[in-house]
Structure 1
Amino acid sequence: MMIPFLNSIQETYGHLPEYILGDAGYGSESNYMAVIDNFNRTPLITYGMFIKDKTKKYKSDIFNTQNWDYDEINNEFICPNNKRIGFKRYAYRHDKYGFKRDFKLYECDDCSEYPLKHQCMNFNSKTNKKIMKNYNWEYFKAQINKKFSEPKTSTVKERLIWILFLDL
């Protein structure tokens, strides 16, 4: 976790830099929340799929639920088989640090007749397609992508890359 480290820096130096930099290992919902809410700083921390989710292959994969249409009125996703994956319930999980992450669980009513089911789901799956969405996490990812595309913060990122490169 990044929070104890940032507390230590703040205690030692009396302040934190405007931008908190970190690699994907630190890209988590809890770290983004802490940097913004507790430290009032801007996180420039990538997340695990930061590079992959920008690739053509990822964006064009019809079985990737991130690419499925979403019907806001009915709160449903629409799969490649044109089936509706509707909202079922709220759920939560705790990560290994005890941070609670909130999800919305969506589930298809019947995937049994789908000829491409084995591509859409695990090969031996005996259940229907389920999607768990953490909209808070999605919000943070969108904010990080936006920050990294801004001229001011992209310059900070480029400097960091050069510093790391020169350190090798």
Structure 2
Amino acid sequence: YLPEYIVADAGYGSEQNYMAIIDDFNKTPLITYGMFIKDKTRKFKSDIFNTQNWKYDELNDEFICPNNKRIGFKRYAYRNDRYGFKRDFKLYECDDCSACSLRQQCMKPNSKSNKKIMKNYNWEYFKAQINQKLSEPETKKIYSQRKIDVEPVFGFM
């Protein structure tokens, strides 16, 4: 028997764990992910070079960078993480960043290629679900109990 809500800290917030809890166990995860708190900061949300803040043109499946260049879809890709879990991505790439006036701020200093964005839409979906769940009063309260019920034990070991 498992409770309706599976509660854990950010160390367990992964695409693989969310998928198992939802699909295999038919339960609701209340597990933050590594960037959960940082994602909500004003600094993070206002960083124009953070690709998560770029405009997305759904019709043309492309992002628009701070210099109004279009970063279009190029191909599908996947990566296996260290546990062998396959993560699917969509790869977007700008056609030409060589003469861009914002290149220095936008890219790594010695980058020889154009700007690339790898989007894992499955992961983005799970993050949105977690954000939504943890903003609801009932589930927010359940999650907040985790620190009270679990973590004090470490102080007495």
Q: TM-score, normalised by structure 2?
A: 0.94
User: Deviation digits for residues 133-154 of structure 1, max 9, x if unmatched?
Assistant: 0000000000000000111101
SS of the residue aligned with 2:60? Answer: coil
Sequence identity of aligned pairs in percent?
74
What amino acid is aligned across from residue 131 of structure 1 in structure 2? I
Matched, 1:42 2:19: no
Partner Cα separation in structure 2 for residue 79 and residue 16 of structure 1: 45
SS of the residue aligned with 2:111? Answer: coil
- TM superposition shift of 1:163: 2.5
Matched, 1:88 2:74: yes
Q: Which blocks of at least 5 consecutive residues in structure 1 are unaligned?
A: 1-14
What amino acid is aligned across from residue 125 of structure 1 in structure 2? S
What amino acid is aligned across from residue 139 of structure 2 in structure 1? T
Aligned length: 154
Query: What RMSD over aligned residues (CA atoms) do the two structures have, in Å?
Result: 1.0
Contact 2:39 2:45 in 1 (8 A): yes
Partner Cα separation in structure 1 for residue 35 and residue 152 of structure 2: 26
What amino acid is aligned across from residue 153 of structure 1 in structure 2? T
Match of 1:7 in 2: none
Instruction: Give 1 or 2: higher helix fraction.
Output: 1
SS of the residue aligned with 1:50? Answer: coil
- TM superposition shift of 1:112: 0.8
Partner Cα separation in structure 2 for residue 93 and residue 147 of structure 1: 28
Partner Cα separation in structure 2 for residue 77 and residue 116 of structure 1: 16
Q: TM-score, normalised by structure 1?
A: 0.88
- TM superposition shift of 1:164: 4.3
Match of 1:104 in 2: 90
Instruction: Give structure 1 regions of 4+ aligned residues with deviation exceeding 3 angstroms.
Output: 164-168
